[in-house]
Amino acid sequence: MRCPHCGAPDSQVKDSRPAEEGAVIRRRRVCGVCGQRFTTFERVQLRELTVVKRSGRRVPFDRDKLHRSIAVALRKRPVEPERIETMVSGIVRQLESSGEPEVSAEAIGLLVMEGLKSLDDVAYVRFASVYRNFREAKDFETLLGELSGGDSASGGRT
């Protein structure tokens, strides 16, 4: 871990403790060169995940991309950032604990939709419209029918 003050590559950990329900470790460090103290937050990663896109392409899983996607759906909605972070951490935990090294983009999308549905209806509809590639107003009507508990004859596209 490089020192943010002088850029030296070596620092010594003085204190470590879990933060945020054990998903993040807070470390107090001191630089061996300049003596400055600084804090790092390190996320525990259980395993490397690969996302299999619809095209068949494989890319490394990116937690930040997941967070950004959810944040875009929740833009200008009255949801606290802590709830977003909790949702992202929960999805990542589910993916990592599945035991599979590869996960489909579709599976991630379904987990996001499930989380957004319980968090904010508007964000759920926003995300679903992109995820399900809505092309016409009828697609929104179908989703809103599902959301309100009504049965729609055509059902949702997957």
CB 27 within 8 A of CB 20: no
What pLDDT, on a 0 to 100 scale, did the predictor assign at position 152? Answer: 42
For the beta sheet containing 24-31, the strands, ordered from the edge strand earlier in sequence to the opposite edge, are 11-19, 24-31, 37-43
CB 51 within 8 A of CB 95: no
pLDDT given for residue 154 in this prediction:
40
Q: Where are the domains of the chain?
A: 11-43, 50-147
pLDDT tens per residue across span 41-63 = 776 655 688 899 989 999 999 98
With a cut of 70, say whether residue 106 has pLDDT above it: yes
Name the percent of the chain lying above pLDDT 90. Answer: 21
| Tens digit of each residue's pLDDT (9 = 90 or more) over 87-96 | 998 898 888 8
Alpha carbons 149 and 158: distance in angstroms, whole number: 18
